[in-house]
A and B are shown apart, each in its own frame.
Chain A
Amino acid sequence: MELRSQTRGVALVLTVIGRIDHSHANAFEAALAPHLQLCTASGTPLVLDFSGVDFISSVGLRVLMLAAKQVKQQQGKLAVAALTPIVQEVFQVSRFNLVLKVFASVDQAVLALTA
C-alpha cells in the first residue's frame, strides 16, 4: 500500500495505491492519520483518490469509517473518488456508498469539497 499526496487548490488529494486488506490496513491508517489532523473546518479538504486501489476488505473500510468520523467531529470535509469497478461493488455491498461522500472522479470531488 502506498500513499501519494498532491495539492489541488486548497484541497489535498491523497492517491492510494494497492490493496487495503488485513495486511495493509494498519499502514493505511497510519499514513492517513497526519492528514486527517489537518482536515478541519478551517483546514484542508481531503480527497482520497482510489483509482489505484485494487481491493478493500472490511478492515480497510473500518479505517475509512474512523477517518470519516474524525473529520466530521472536526467539521472538516472528506471524500473518496474514482473507485475501481471492484471497489465500487464492495462499497455497494457494504453500503459504504451511503455513508461516505463518493465521487466518480477526483476533479468532481475537489470541486464539490472546495465550492
Chain B
Amino acid sequence: MKLQFWGTRGSIPVSMTSVDVRTKLRQALLGAAQGPVLTADSVDAFIDTLGFDVAATFGGHSSCVQIVTDNPEHVILDLGSGARPLGQSMLARFGVDQPQTYHVFMSHVHWDHIMGFPFFLPAFTPGNRIIIHACHAQVEQAFRRQHGSPSFPVEFEQLAATVEFDVLLPGKRYQIAGLEVSARLQRHSGDSYGWRFERGGKAVVYSTDSEHRLDEAAELAGIVEFFANADAVVFDAMYSLADAISVKADWGHSSNIVGVELCRAAGVRRLVMYHHEPAYDDAQILGVLNETRRFEEITREGHALEVLSAWDGLELAL
C-alpha cells in the first residue's frame, strides 16, 4: 500500500509568488557562491544539498490523496484542487479507451475538498465509473450544485462518466476496492469524518479537518482507538496549539502538538502533517516540521514516532 499526495494545503489553494521564487533563487545562488564553480554534472548534487524550502515546495493544491494498491480499482481521498493533476495523470496513463473505476472517500463536502471535481478529467471520460463514498447525506447535493450555471459551464448531467453516490455509516466496517474501510465522526463545522483503511496487515488513517477538544477526554480516547497502531496517520495540523485553543477555537482544525500526543498514545508509526496553513510559505512549513520533530524527540517515551509534512507529489510507501 502506498499514499500519493496530490493536494496538501488547507482551506484554499495557494501558489508561489514572484517574491517567493526570487527568495529561493537568491538563497540557492548565495549557497552556490560559497562553493566551487558548478558544472552541468555537479549542479544536481548541489541542489540536493539545499533545504527543501529552497530547492522544492510543499505545493499549494487543496486536499487530495490517493491510496495505491495492487487492486485495479482506484482509491482517492477528497477531491480538492489536487484532483486536477491526479485526473491528468490518470488520463495520461489509461487514455480514454480503458475504462477505470474510482472510489472517492470524502472527509466532508466543504468547498476546498470538492472544488477539484469539475476539473477531474476521468469524470469526462465515457465508460469510467466514479463512486463517491461519504457519511454526509447531502453529498450528492454538494457535488451537483457546483456544476452548471452560474458556477460552471458544464452541467452535472453532461459528465460522461457514471457518477454514483454512496452514503456510508460511521462505525461500520466495509470492504471496498480491496480495503477494509471504516469512518469516524470528527469535530468540524457541518461534521467531518476520518477514514481508516486496512489491507495486508497495514493500516492508514486519513483524519483531516478535525478539531480535538482537550477537555473532551472520552472523545480523545475514541480518536486514539481509531488511530490505534496505524502505519500512518494523515493529520490536520493546520494551527499552532496556542491558536487552536484560543483565537481559532471552534474553527475545526488541530495542531502539530496534539497530533504528536494522539499518535503517540495510539502507537502510530508515522504522523503525516497535512492541511497546511495557506498563509505559510515553504520556510514556515519546514520550520513547523523541524519544531514538531524536536517536540517528538523531547517528549519521547519508548518508540519513536516518525514525523513528516505532506507535500504535493509526495509518495509514501507503508
Contact = CB atoms under 8 A, between A and B. Distances in A.
Interface residues of B, number: 19
Given A62-B215, A65-B246, A96 B241 contact: yes
A55 B299 contact: yes
Contact of B292 (A59, A69, A93, A99): A93
8 contacts: A58-B255, A58-B258, A61-B241, A62-B214, A89-B298, A93-B241, A93-B295, A95-B240
Nearest to B265: A22
A15 interface: no
Interface in B274-299: 291-292, 294-295, 298-299
Contacts, number: 50
Interface string A73-93: 000000000000010011011
A98 B261 contact: no
Interface of A: 55, 57-59, 61-62, 65, 69, 86, 89-90, 92-96, 98-99
B11 interface: no
Contacts of B255: 58, 94
Contacts of B258: 58
The secondary-structure label for the interface of chain A is helix
B214 A58 contact: yes
B47 interface: no
Nearest to A100: B242
B261 A89 contact: no
B261 A58 contact: yes
B242 A94 contact: yes
B179 interface: no
B245 interface: yes
B298 A86 contact: yes
